[in-house]
């Protein structure tokens, strides 16, 4: 082999190696991504049925129901427009309570219940996760517009 052919072979192998490494890295990152959805988006079937995603909103007042095993909890998460029931088995964060912001990570079951693997509660009384805050503001604006339309008032 001539030196020129050796260089071309080395460059070709380097390009194939970098391409393979980039493909493996992107595949690994894609499998670990979990997108955020609001209850309205989940009920509109915008959330994936077969993948892990995050669901956020406010814990509905009076919706927390603990099962007999002491670890399984069912509660409702709302964005003030729609509500999704969440089932979680494990120890809840200390700051978890009704009327507070929450982000859960898990999968939507075929029965319409969101089965959470992880529950995150806000960390102080003034904090709201940015995704939850924007979702609540959007739902509130849509609710105000919908109320105005039903009352016969036009914007």
Binding positions for heme are 123, 127
- Of 82, 98, 92, nearest to 120 (Cα)? 92
- Of 119, 101, 109, nearest to 60 (Cα)? 101
The three-class DSSP label of residue 150 is: helix
Give the span between the Cα atoms of 146 and 55, in whole angstroms.
Answer: 24
Cα 8 from chain centre = 47
Give the span between the Cα atoms of 31 and 71, in whole angstroms.
Answer: 29
Give the span between the Cα atoms of 31 and 140, in whole angstroms.
Answer: 33
Residues annotated in a binding site: 123, 127
Do residues 121 and 99 touch, judged by C-beta distance below 8 A?
A: no
């Amino acid at each position: 082999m001539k030196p020129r052919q050796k260089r071309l072979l080395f460059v070709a192998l380097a390009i194939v190696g970098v391409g393979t490494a980039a493909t493996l890295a992107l595949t690994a990152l894609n499998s670990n991504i979990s997108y955020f959805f609001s209850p309205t988006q989940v009920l509109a079937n915008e959330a994936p049925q077969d993948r892990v995603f995050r669901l956020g909103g406010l814990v509905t007042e009076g919706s927390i129901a603990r099962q007999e095993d002491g670890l399984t909890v069912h509660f409702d998460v709302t964005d003030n427009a729609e509500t999704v029931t969440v089932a979680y088995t494990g120890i809840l964060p200390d700051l978890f309570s009704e009327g507070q912001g929450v982000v859960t990570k898990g999968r939507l079951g075929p029965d319409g219940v969101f089965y959470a693997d992880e529950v995150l509660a806000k960390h102080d009384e003034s904090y709201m996760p940015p995704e939850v805050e924007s979702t609540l503001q959007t739902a509130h604006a849509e609710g105000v517009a919908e109320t105005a339309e039903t009352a016969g008032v036009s914007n």
